[in-house]
Structure 1
Amino acid sequence: MSSTKKSNFQTVDEYFGSFQKEIQDSLEQIRQTIKNAVPEAEEVISYQLPAFKYHGMLIYFSAYKDHYSLSFPPPFTVFEVFKQELSPYEVSKTTIKFPADKPIPLELVSELAKYRAKENLEGKQKKR
């Protein structure tokens, strides 16, 4: 599904461009949802994935053959706090997988991004 021709992405748009239009549209929905949730966040490519930074790494997102992923850097408290909301999805230590054949839960994506932004900001303030 993803083209393997290019794997040294410089921009999020380059990453998106390696997928079919339908997948690009879904990735764009995730991107806009995170941007709207945390308008101050900076869009970056990290580990060859689209990501957002806000007082540290905030969230990574990506597309695969049969799912979309959201990944989070430590601390992984987001998985505990949203345990109930995440229960319908496959979850690992760092990642949530949303099946590609179902609508992406954008409201949940927004809540996760807002929670992580608050967590990063509080973490930064504690370090001062």
Structure 2
Amino acid sequence: MSKPKDVDSYIANADTEARPTLEELREIIKSTVPEAKEEISYNVPFYTFHGTHVGISAAKNHATFGIGADTLQSEDRKMLEEKGYKTGKETIQIRYDQAVPTTEITQLLEEKAEEAKKAQ
């Protein structure tokens, strides 16, 4: 993938299989945290709000939603893993054949935004 100039070009240049998942993650972020500033950082989409950020990216077989270890707690990871999602310390991997865990991501974003507002 060539170096994207904005999120639209990042998604447009992603594999066809990745685009619906990336678009859905983008929409969840924008609707949950409408004040988030959308940008490209480290060649992937980042959303900055209240002094913090989240990011999305496309890999060969999955999309990654990065929210940070401060928000993604062990109980969140366990619950997501029980539903078939692979998680890391700060990330959730969503295979292209899986539904996006919209409810869970929305709740995590709301928590992150609220905590970030309090910290300012």
Same fold (TM over 0.5): yes
Q: Does 1:30 align with 2:25?
A: yes
Unaligned runs of 5+ in 2: none
Task: Output aligned runs, 1:20-59, within 5 Å.
Answer: 20-59=15-54
Q: Which amino acid aligns with 1:85?
A: M
Q: Which amino acid aligns with 1:86?
A: L
Q: Which residue of 2 aligns with 1:78?
A: 71
- Aligned residues between the structures: 117
Is contact 1:69–1:98 with CA below 8 Å preserved after alignment?
Answer: yes
Report deviation, 1:67.
1.0
* Aligned mates of 1:86, 1:77 — CA distance in 2: 16
Q: Which amino acid aligns with 2:100?
A: I
SS, match of residue 47 in structure 2: strand
* Aligned mates of 1:56, 1:48 — CA distance in 2: 20
Superposition misfits of 4+ residues, deviation over 3 angstroms: none
72, 77, 81: which is aligned to 1:87?
81
Q: Which amino acid aligns with 2:72?
A: F
Q: TM-score, normalised by structure 2?
A: 0.85
Report deviation, 1:59.
0.7
Q: Does 1:16 align with 2:15?
A: no
Q: TM-score, normalised by structure 1?
A: 0.80
The alignment-based identity, stated in percent, is: 29
After superposition, give the CA deviation of every residue in 1:65-124 in whole Å (9 maximum; x if it has no partner): 111111134xx2322262443233222122111122111111212112111111211121
Report deviation, 1:58.
2.1
Unaligned runs of 5+ in 1: none
| Structure whose CA Rg is larger | 1
Is contact 1:58–1:113 with CA below 8 Å preserved after alignment?
Answer: no
Q: Which amino acid aligns with 2:92?
A: I
After superposition, give the CA deviation of every residue in 1:35-55 in whole Å (9 maximum; x if it has no partner): 111111111111111111101
RMSD (Å) for aligned C-alpha atoms: 1.7
Q: Which residue of 2 aligns with 1:114?
A: 110
